[in-house]
Amino acid sequence: MPLPLLYVCVRPQRQAADGEYASFRAATGLGDALARHDLVREPLPDDAFTRYGGFVVGGSPFNLTDPECDKSDAQRRQEADLERIAAAAAEARTTALFTCYGIGVVTRMLGGEVSREFPEDTGPARIRLTPAATGDALFGGLPAEFAALTAHKEGAASAPPGAVVLAENDACPVQAYRVGTQLWATQFHPEPDPVAFTERMAIYRNDGYFDPEEYDVLAARVRAADVRHPHAILRAFAARATA
């Protein structure tokens, strides 16, 4: 019997975490079959790699580029646990998809640079596939250009050694990459629909991602966006991880 896929939560705000989990459940098509682990409050179980067939890692208000002295013990523990998942996937001992904050974890672990020079505004962004995406198991069926939702303060300055860049755009050149055959990372958020994203925006309204006075304008832009294509990435990943 196939092992379940695990959603790994790294959001301290419970409302945001619950909303993100609901989005992943819908976008993967797994519904209640998608397991959940709150890494903010509980370390990664020692038997995680035998209990679960794969891992999908959500976003977080944490930043990898914050000074180490300013990080809480909980944040440092989460980063270490996420690196365990990334290392196992890079070695093909499991399969994993990291999103937004998670691409920084993977990039740093593999020797790449995470920088504050590549933030993106909150809302829809145009994502372009690279030629390498054509034969990729998750990205191969996507159109050459599509819309996805972004909101981040840091990004990968370049893909880490050995990674295959799958998607890019002008504001943040590394939007997605693959390492080996079992590890993927995206800078954009593949899981939310427009309504879910505006609800998340309301939770983080005063967290420095955008001018709070611009919420209504930005939310209207998000609601008008067609962000269906990134969901196909998650459906393909879920099918692969639970096969």
Q: How many domains does the chain have?
A: 1
Which residue shows structure tokens 């990664």?
44
Residue 126 pLDDT > 90, yes or no?
yes
Answer yes or no: are the C-beta atoms of 234 and 31 closer than 8 Å.
no
Pairing of strands 163-168, 35-38: unpaired
Question: Given this model, what pLDDT does residue 72 score?
Answer: 92
Closest by alpha carbon to 175, among 191, 198, 158? 158
**How far, in Å, CA of 95 to CA of 138, rounded?**
12
**How far, in Å, CA of 143 to CA of 170, rounded?**
18
Strand partners, 16: none
Query: What would the pLDDT profile of 162-211 be if each residue is shown by its tens digit?
Result: 999 999 999 999 999 999 999 999 999 999 999 999 999 999 999 999 99
DSSP 159: P
Query: Based on C-alpha coordinates, what's the Rg of the chain?
Result: 16
Tell me how far CA of residue 195 lies from CA of 7, 20, 166, 167, 224, in angstroms: 20, 12, 27, 25, 10
On the 0-12 / 13-18 / 19+ scale of CB atoms within 10 A, 119 is middle
Kindly report the average pLDDT of the chain as a whole number: 97
The domain spanning residue 148 has which CATH number? Answer: 3.40.50.880
pLDDT-derived band at 2 (thresholds 50, 70, 90) equals confident
Full domain range(s) for residue 57: 5-241
**How far, in Å, CA of 111 to CA of 239, rounded?**
30
Pairing of strands 114-115, 5-9: unpaired
Query: What would the pLDDT profile of 98-116 be if each residue is shown by its tens digit?
Result: 999 999 999 999 999 999 9
**How far, in Å, CA of 70 to CA of 87, rounded?**
25
Alpha helices in 7-157 (DSSP H): 14-28, 48-51, 73-90, 101-109
- pLDDT > 70: percent of the chain: 100
Question: Given this model, what pLDDT does residue 178 score?
Answer: 98
Question: Given this model, what pLDDT does residue 180 score?
Answer: 98
